Amino acid sequence: MQNHFMFICIATFCFVSCHKTNTLSENDFKWMPYKGNETLVFSSTSGATDTFYFIKKDTIFAYPEAQATNGIKYEQVSIICKHSDPWPPDGKHRYLEDSFLKLQKNIDNYAELNLLLSGKDAVFYRLKGFKIDTLNNQKAVTFQTKYRKYDDVYIINSDSYNKFYNRSDFVTKVYWSKSKGLIRYDKKDNGYWELTNSY
C-alpha cells in the first residue's frame, strides 16, 4: 500500500513538472522597451554612424537544451535585427541578421535579459544575461548623452574576465534605459557610441 502511494506521488509530480511553463511576468516585460519594428541610429566619438534595423519581435516557448528531460518549458521573447558585421570578410560593409535582445524566464524561474550587441567594430562579449531581480535591486541613474537626458539608466559591465578582451571590437559596458533600451556602449579604447535617433 505504501509503495502504491509513493508511486502515485511520483507520477503526479512528474505529470505536473512535465507540463510546467515558466512565463514572463508583467514586471519582467517592463525591461523590454521595444516593439520590434524600430530603427536605431548610433554615432561614435570618431564620427562614424551605425544603424540597427529591427525586423520583428518573436515569442517562443521552448525547452532549455541542457535540461530538456525535466519537461519544463520557458518563455523567450527576442528582437531580431539587421546589424553591421563587425568583421566583414572583404573589409566592405555588410549587414547580418541575428538576435539583438532576448528576454526569457529560465529553468529556475528567474527572468534574464540578454543583450547580443554586434555592430560596426563593436561586440558585447558577455556570456550570460543580466538577471532582472539584480537589475530591480539596483538604483537607476540619470545620464546625459550628447543628444538627450535619461533618468532611468542602468550601466552594465562586460564580464570581469573575458577571453575576447584583446579584440579591438571589445565593448566594456553598455548603458540601458529601462524605457528606451540601449542608449550608449563604450569601447576599451575610450571611444563610445551613443544613440542619436530612433524611429
Q: Which residues of 132-168 are buried (b: 16+ CB within 10 A; e: fewer)?
A: beebeeeebeebebeeeebeebbebebeeeeeeeeee
Amino acid 43 reads S
pLDDT tens digits, residue range 52-85? Answer: 999 999 988 876 555 555 567 889 999 999 999 9
Across the range 92-102, mean pLDDT stands at: 95
pLDDT at position 27: 92
Residue 13 in this model has a pLDDT that exceeds 70:
no
The reported pLDDT for the residue numbered 73 is: 85
Q: How many domains does the chain have?
A: 1
Residue 84 lies in a domain: yes
Question: Within a domain: residue 68?
Answer: yes
**Considering the domain boundaries, does residue 5 fall inside one?**
no
- 12 domain-assigned: no
Give me the pLDDT at residue 126, please. Answer: 82
Range of the domain at 144: 22-198
Q: What is the pLDDT of residues 111-125, one digit of tens each?
A: 999 999 999 999 999
Q: Answer whether residue 39 is part of any domain.
A: yes
pLDDT value of residue 121: 92
Instruction: Evaluate whether residue 2 is within a structural domain.
Output: no
Within-domain flag for 16: no
